[in-house]
Amino acid sequence: MNYKRSSHVLLLLVFFCLLPISVLAEEKKEESIYDKRMALYKKTEALTEIPWYYIAAVDQYERQIYKDIKDDQVISIRIPPELWFGPGNTSVDIKAIQIFGGIGKDGNGDKKADPNNGEDALLTMASFIQKYGYNEDDFKIALWNYYKRDLTVQTIKNTARVFKKYNGINLTDRDFPVAIKYNYSYRNTWGDRRGFGGNRIHEGTDIFADYGTPVHSTTYGVVELKGWNLYGGWRIGIRDIFNIYHYYAHLSGYQDGIEVGQIVKPGDVLGSVGSTGYGPPGTSGKFPPHLHYGMYKDNGYSEWSFDPYPYLKRWERMAKSKK
């Protein structure tokens, strides 16, 4: 009996000793992927003089628009084959690509321009941008000529600004959208019917709280929109570095200094809970005070809403763990 009990105790000790090691290994793995990316961005910057945060922002954008990107994939930029190789060419030989008018470059010194090689892809994209110049306006022009989509240009430009401000790409912190030291409640209201303005579904989660409860940014991003909306009242929209638009509605007011184009981080106060909306500017009190929080994903072609509830539960745990 004592032998069995000792065996069980020994097994438990082994389990708890190994658990932190596995957690640390996972954290180290996550850090290493960011380190590898940053090293390649800085190398490409040295070769082209294009700021690393421009290159990183393009790579970050493309990482979000492809469904088959693996978690351990270092670089995600994909350049169309006809642009990379030139019309009628399929050879990765540098001279052949030049003859056929392709833009593919050799980034790792193997005398080949392979679109599946991350260093080659980074140098090719940076060289494309380089043709237009080195400042922010030149960068916008280069992006427009490559993607030909205003929202894409704006998203990448703003992501570059965030990376530059925080001097890094490993920006994974999050916060709950309502200050957790206040009283609040919420449940999954995704897809519920709404009657005002015609039959429509509820594209978000309602977080009920008292008037004046602080509303926080949940993520790193840039304020894309601010002002009155017939349905949402005083609302604010933030585009994050993962091509996701975060929508905060029914605010009673905004935090002083919050403006369109401002860079925000998790925990920054955006405004306060209210009950505005369902009418012309200034309409308030047609429903109990709450924050409507919505999330919208962009894939480079279109944008759609998705259920924020699972993310809110995760971010709530993260916020409480910091107390």
- Express as a percent the part of the chain with pLDDT over 70: 86
What was the pLDDT predicted at 201?
63
- The amino acid sitting at 105 is K
pLDDT at 27 over 70: no
Which residue, 139, 140, 156, is CA-closest to 61? 156
Residue 287: predicted pLDDT:
94
Q: What is the rounded average pLDDT of the residues 77-98?
A: 96
pLDDT at 77: 97
User: Radius of gyration (Cα) for the chain, nearest Å?
Assistant: 24
The whole-angstrom separation of Cα 33 and Cα 159 is 19
Residue 2 has pLDDT above 60, yes or no: no
What is the pLDDT at residue 208? 97
What is the average per-residue pLDDT within 301-321? 94
Task: Tell me the average pLDDT of the chain.
Answer: 90
Mean pLDDT of 301-311: 93
Q: What are phi and psi of 99, to 5 degrees?
A: -60, -40
Residue 4 in this model has a pLDDT that exceeds 60: no
Query: Which pair of structure tokens corresponds to residue 21?
Result: 């090691």
pLDDT of 5 > 60? The answer is no
Cβ distance 296 to 304 under 8 Å? yes
Question: Please, where are the H alpha helices in the chain?
Answer: 2-48, 52-65, 81-85, 94-99, 118-130, 136-147, 150-166, 309-321
Q: In this predicted structure, what is the pLDDT of residue 11?
A: 46
Which tens digits make up the pLDDT trace of 29-81? 555 899 999 999 999 999 999 999 999 999 999 999 998 998 889 999 999 99
- For residue 302, the 8-state DSSP code is -
The mean pLDDT of 102-109, rounded to a whole number, is 96
pLDDT attached to residue 21? 42
DSSP-assigned states of every residue in 107-141: SSSSSB--TTSHHHHHHHHHHHHHTT-SSHHHHHH
For 184-243, the pLDDT digits (tens) are: 999 998 766 665 544 556 689 999 999 999 999 999 999 999 999 998 999 999 999 999
Percent of the chain with pLDDT over 90: 81
| Amino acid symbol at 317 | R
| Residue whose C-alpha is closest to residue 115's, from 158, 146, 83, 143 | 83
Dihedral sign for Cα 292, 293, 299, 300, please: positive
Q: What is the mean pLDDT of residues 6-24?
A: 45
Report pLDDT for 200: 58
Angle at 63 between CA 239 and CA 309, to 5 degrees: 50
Q: What predicted TM-score, i.e. pTM, was given to this entire model?
A: 0.86
What is the model's pLDDT at position 32?
A: 87
The model's pLDDT over 134-151, given as tens digits with 9 standing for 90+, comes to 999 999 999 999 999 999
Residues 6+ apart with CB under 8 A from 259: 223, 226
Which of 243, 191, 292 minimizes the C-alpha distance to 69?
Answer: 243
- With a CB cutoff of 8 Å and minimum separation 6, the contacts of 207 are 177, 178, 184, 185, 186, 273, 290, 291, 293, 312
- The span from the CA of 228 to the CA of 239, in Å, is 18
- 250-267 pLDDT, tens digit per residue, is 999 999 999 999 999 999
How confident is the model at residue 97, as a pLDDT? 97
